[in-house]
Structure 1
């Protein structure tokens, strides 16, 4: 009842500020429209809204009590000289132990350098978008050519790590369940599933269990990653299962602390010339209501969290009304109609019969981005995931927050502000630490500051997807950070690119 009263209160408070550019937009009433807009902007058209299957078939996806995995070679690899035996490439499913019927799909690429390299897991955001988006367009071993052949990515993160991509939450990508109760609505459910996935993975691949382990990802993974890191750390402390050698976690252009990041939208938009000072003043009138809504979400977390999503996104939507066809993932670019990026080759490639056969997914649909998962996570959207990070830092787990400077939706300014305002033992020293150039090939690729386990990097000439926009700098970032220093003191840039 209190939630309904609060929602009514928000409507009343917001009404004086309504204008042509400051109102809850019509599509805010239907989160499915917002999710579908997100998907169309990437030129993706999944056949299903989520992978909840009515029955489990007799295909390879259902064989075995625990795991279905196979070594594979993509049939469209443009380099015929590489044999199946040369590739440490694995794909398959794990049953998620504490779910009702969830099976999580993943790709695992052994390092092109050394099996002793760190194990790095990548989580794509959305929420509800498959990690194959990053695998083929950002930092995976391959890029998809226009003729749907695969070419080696010169800057794939498997050059310096054993690289793991997971389709999550359940229902995303090739992951599926036959029970709707496996649809997740919060970070507790998401991180428990990922922890169960890791336990199954390291049980099957014990030779990698002692390697250093890092969690990475971008966008809404700014929620997933801290929660998952805390879950792994908790499992290690409680000796729940296989010990996971968690060394650090990295968030790229993420949404982590909404109260601070939503407040930064108008500042960033004004600084970048997207809005005028009069627009800035008008839109900022919603900020106190947004802040109040987020506080109530943090204490009660049900309908008030959904209400805060609608209220606070009025700020972003008002900016975008003024920005017109500006691509909010990269404000240097324009969107043409609904299309901001063309990632359609992802679906075209993975829907080929030869590819599906090589992966063993049989008739499981590929859901590139799931509007159902997006809607299910609305109650989670405005939660502050920064709160669990100080305990990790103080136990020596490293955090890297990096952000491309031309992204609006998870902009570097908001990320920098929450990182600087986070209270932990080293906060004072971090804030006082100097900002220094991040140099790649003797050129400034960004600016960073570090103290102890915490680092923040602003990446030049990049938008929301840093590994896509600046692949060489992103690879060098990962290499240096996992080796101990973004300064490059321990890195070997001349060996960055090696031949197969």
Structure 2
């Protein structure tokens, strides 16, 4: 069994004294996610204990989605202690979640980031959940002070598929391998993919049209025709199978229909060069030039940094004596086959029934996992003995720093928050609000955001470089695989 000192990150390249003082130490490396000694699989993690003065007894796990997208994206561009400024200098993040709890980033499933896949064997969501339990069980045996901590599993996007399966596995296990009770207290999922049949199958075109229409995307003198086309395509796709959708324009993917129209009617970044960002429909990027877009340059800094030999040695992604670095990518193809598994939304009733707090939050400018689709998943979901939210109970304003930052529903152990003005990656777009959401989860209170001192004047980030560059590819993986 390893010791925490085996994973200690002494100093990162280009890390200043100020950045070091921002931390209560940090630990990174590879821990087994399977018991197969012939083909051992390992997950890469990066762990940031909370400040000593906080004396935190809570462990928050963060997962990015994909499937196959690295949680290093979350660490470096969303809610971790580190970030890059516009010129590539490493800086601290004043809204880092480690300032509220012990924070653990995990690259999973196997084949993601530094979590190398030795077997290349296909696996489903049940196997994924088992691998995560194996990893986390080993982690708490190494970092023994985390073993009795209250546990919270958080993440965004396709992590909305991972997290309920992982949580269900932890609840089934009841205890860690040494008999210590597992203290799963809450889960949080941002802009989550929870039911493919509603959110990404051909019928999702209906929700997507309703989202674009409700969000005010169709505006201007030249919008009436494209709106009619979009409505017609959505209706045509309503009852189609996957195979039939392949014969439809844009495979029933509404954003692909809208993209050319948007570019033809917008010139802010040049004639024929202005594309809208599906992860935040109010943002634009240069068409066909996303890798050079200044809005995504920070993801480029992250990728360059994590692909240096010195950094990979420092974080124990490779042996200290190795002269060969790993080719790290923000998103990879993984061997996950989720088609045989039930939608993750079907597991939430059981999770809620065990008194685990469930928080679902959605940035209302995201078209990928948009609020219309998420709310329809919730409307079709049964938990606590009833289906959906009670229609006779109105939504309440979600207040942050004395202003309405969104709308909230809380019923029968489930809390839902729709955030105004945020996109797919809420901690990047709305870091103060994201910190308040974490405080709400940890406190179990609807006004958790008002119970901590929130920084003012923080600015959000932009979409993920890898996710935007591979947007259509990811859609095809989710829908047609």
Cα deviation code 1:66-89 (max 9, x no counterpart): 9962343323223448469x6321
| Pair 1:180–1:378, CA change in 2 (3 A) | closer
3-state DSSP class of the match of 1:439? strand
Q: Which of the two has greater helix per residue?
A: 1
Provide the rounded CA distance (Å) in 2 between the counterparts of 1:306 and 1:383.
Answer: 22
Cα deviation code 1:91-148 (max 9, x no counterpart): 0111223453211110000012534241110110111111011101100011123454
Check whether the contact 1:79–1:151 (CA below 8 A) recurs between aligned residues.
no
In the alignment, is residue 103 of structure 1 matched against residue 48 of structure 2? no
Check whether the contact 2:152–2:186 (CA below 8 A) recurs between aligned residues.
yes
Provide the rounded CA distance (Å) in 1 between the counterparts of 2:83 and 2:184.
Answer: 29
Cα deviation code 1:283-329 (max 9, x no counterpart): 12443444x55xxxxxxxxxx89989x99754453344544421000
In the alignment, is residue 130 of structure 1 matched against residue 65 of structure 2? no
Provide the rounded CA distance (Å) in 1 between the counterparts of 2:229 and 2:87.
Answer: 46
| Pair 1:274–1:213, CA change in 2 (3 A) | same
Provide the rounded CA distance (Å) in 1 between the counterparts of 2:44 and 2:386.
Answer: 39
| Pair 1:428–1:386, CA change in 2 (3 A) | closer
In the alignment, is residue 139 of structure 1 matched against residue 139 of structure 2? no
Show structure 2 runs of 5+ residues with no match: 219-225, 264-274, 319-323, 457-481
3-state DSSP class of the match of 2:213? helix
Please point out which of 432, 439, 444 is paired with 1:484: 444
In the alignment, is residue 318 of structure 1 matched against residue 257 of structure 2? yes
| Pair 1:486–1:364, CA change in 2 (3 A) | farther
Please point out which of 359, 365, 378 is paired with 1:400: 359
Match of 1:265 in 2: 208
Provide the rounded CA distance (Å) in 2 between the counterparts of 1:392 and 1:81.
Answer: 38
- Report 1 or 2 for greater relative contact order, CA contacts < 8 Å, sequence distance ≥ 6: 1
After TM superposition, give the deviation of residue 448 of structure 1 in Å: 0.8
In the alignment, is residue 330 of structure 1 matched against residue 269 of structure 2? no
Provide the rounded CA distance (Å) in 2 between the counterparts of 1:258 and 1:326.
Answer: 24
Match of 2:230 in 1: 280
Check whether the contact 1:252–1:402 (CA below 8 A) recurs between aligned residues.
yes
Check whether the contact 2:237–2:252 (CA below 8 A) recurs between aligned residues.
no
Aligned residue runs from structure 1 range 231-246, under 5 A: 231-236=169-174, 242-246=180-184
Provide the rounded CA distance (Å) in 1 between the counterparts of 2:133 and 2:196.
Answer: 25
In the alignment, is residue 369 of structure 1 matched against residue 330 of structure 2? yes
Cα deviation code 1:344-398 (max 9, x no counterpart): 011111123332221122335243234422xx34654996221111111122112
In the alignment, is residue 493 of structure 1 matched against residue 430 of structure 2? no
Please point out which of 292, 296, 308 is paired with 1:352: 308
| Pair 1:97–1:371, CA change in 2 (3 A) | closer
Provide the rounded CA distance (Å) in 1 between the counterparts of 2:447 and 2:19.
Answer: 37
Match of 1:230 in 2: 168
Provide the rounded CA distance (Å) in 1 between the counterparts of 2:127 and 2:402.
Answer: 44
CA RMSD of aligned residues (A): 3.3
| Pair 1:241–1:345, CA change in 2 (3 A) | farther
| Pair 1:429–1:220, CA change in 2 (3 A) | closer
| Pair 1:401–1:305, CA change in 2 (3 A) | farther
Check whether the contact 1:226–1:386 (CA below 8 A) recurs between aligned residues.
yes
Check whether the contact 1:426–1:451 (CA below 8 A) recurs between aligned residues.
no
After TM superposition, give the deviation of residue 483 of structure 1 in Å: 0.3
Provide the rounded CA distance (Å) in 2 between the counterparts of 1:250 and 1:116.
Answer: 19
Please point out which of 382, 404, 409 is paired with 1:444: 404
Provide the rounded CA distance (Å) in 1 between the counterparts of 2:185 and 2:394.
Answer: 24
3-state DSSP class of the match of 1:210? coil
- Greater CA drift, 164-173 or 241-250: 241-250
After TM superposition, give the deviation of residue 252 of structure 1 in Å: 0.4
Match of 2:56 in 1: 116
Provide the rounded CA distance (Å) in 1 between the counterparts of 2:410 and 2:349.
Answer: 15
After TM superposition, give the deviation of residue 486 of structure 1 in Å: 2.3
Check whether the contact 2:113–2:332 (CA below 8 A) recurs between aligned residues.
no
| Pair 1:162–1:381, CA change in 2 (3 A) | farther
Check whether the contact 1:266–1:319 (CA below 8 A) recurs between aligned residues.
no
| Pair 1:65–1:110, CA change in 2 (3 A) | closer
Show structure 1 runs of 5+ residues with no match: 1-62, 294-303
| Pair 1:462–1:74, CA change in 2 (3 A) | same
Cα deviation code 1:434-468 (max 9, x no counterpart): 31122221121111111232000011111111001
Match of 2:381 in 1: 422
TM-score (norm 2): 0.78
3-state DSSP class of the match of 1:457? strand
- Greater CA drift, 450-459 or 256-265: 256-265
- Greater CA drift, 126-135 or 140-149: 140-149
TM-score (norm 1): 0.75
Provide the rounded CA distance (Å) in 1 between the counterparts of 2:29 and 2:162.
Answer: 22
